[in-house]
Amino acid sequence: MSEQPTRTTNPNRRSLLRRPLVAWLAVAGVVALAVGLVLFQPWRLLTRSVVDEPLPVAATMVATPTADPSGTTRPSTTASVRVLGEGRFVDGEHATSGTARVLALADGTRVLRLEGFSTSDGPDVDVWLTDQPAGDADWHRYDDGRYVALGDLKGTDGNQNYVIPADADLGGLTSVVIWCDRFDVAFGTAAVRLA
């Protein structure tokens, strides 16, 4: 009768995943990765969105009669738009370009218009008017002074309008900031001195 070789198992040689420390570290690593993905949303660096809004027009417009080809006169609408401040975007934490214009419409409404605008996408990105100077290397300081929040960034590219609250005091505000509230950094800024 032939002898079968016997297998012996070494009690010190256990599966790596059976060790409690390694198992806990693996679970902690997966949880940390999930939390990191939720907080940082790295895929947003690769996404783009285009918003192309027309130049804003006042809610009440002045009607002036114009001649219709048929010989009748019809009212045409024209509205005066006054530029209160204008500036070009400079890079902050991310490449940002375009023009920021603060406009006063005929009905008294004030609007911030971003034209030819482009920046990166990110989590919790807002548009602000601030009293801090634009273009400085200190991207974290824009929430240290006075600012007027105009809302979430509508898109990474295009032409966008943001209504400025009627009760907002624009005196002393000097810049438009594309602000990432989650990480307290400016994506880009534009100097627009307002009276």
Does residue 4 fall inside a structural domain? no
CATH number at residue 129: 2.60.40
Beta strands in the chain (DSSP E): 50-52, 62-67, 73-78, 81-91, 97-105, 110-118, 125-130, 147-152, 157-164, 175-180, 185-191
Q: What is the pLDDT of residue 20?
A: 74
Among 134, 100, 126, 135, which residue's Cα sits nearest to residue 115? Answer: 100
Do 82 and 34 fall within a single domain?
no
Distance separating alpha carbons of residues 91 and 189, to the nearest angstrom: 7
Do 100 and 137 fall within a single domain?
yes
Do 34 and 127 fall within a single domain?
no
If you average pLDDT over residues 127-132, what whole number do you get? 96
Total domain count, the chain: 2
Cβ-count burial 46-78 (b if 16+ within 10 Å, e if not): eeeeeeeeeebebeebeeeeeeeeeeeeeeeee
Do 31 and 71 fall within a single domain?
no
Do 42 and 126 fall within a single domain?
no
Q: What is the pLDDT of residue 186?
A: 93
If you average pLDDT over residues 109-115, what whole number do you get? 98
Do 42 and 53 fall within a single domain?
no
Do 119 and 161 fall within a single domain?
yes
Only one residue has tokens 């007027």, namely 148
Give me the domain span that covers residue 30. 14-46
Do 134 and 168 fall within a single domain?
yes
Distances 43 to 40, 47, 64, 180, 184 between C-alpha atoms, Å: 9, 7, 51, 16, 19
- Percent of the chain at pLDDT above 70? 71
Do 31 and 78 fall within a single domain?
no
- Percent of the chain at pLDDT above 90? 48
If you average pLDDT over residues 7-32, what whole number do you get? 66
Q: What is this structure's pTM?
A: 0.69
Does residue 149 fall inside a structural domain? yes
Do 27 and 76 fall within a single domain?
no
How big is the CA angle at 55 (ends 54 and 61), to the nearest 5 degrees? 115
Distance separating alpha carbons of residues 92 and 137, to the nearest angstrom: 7
Q: Residue 149's beta-bridge partner residues?
A: 128
Does residue 2 fall inside a structural domain? no
Do 110 and 38 fall within a single domain?
no
Do 18 and 61 fall within a single domain?
no
Q: What is the pLDDT of residue 19?
A: 72
Is the per-residue pLDDT at 6 higher than 80? Answer: no
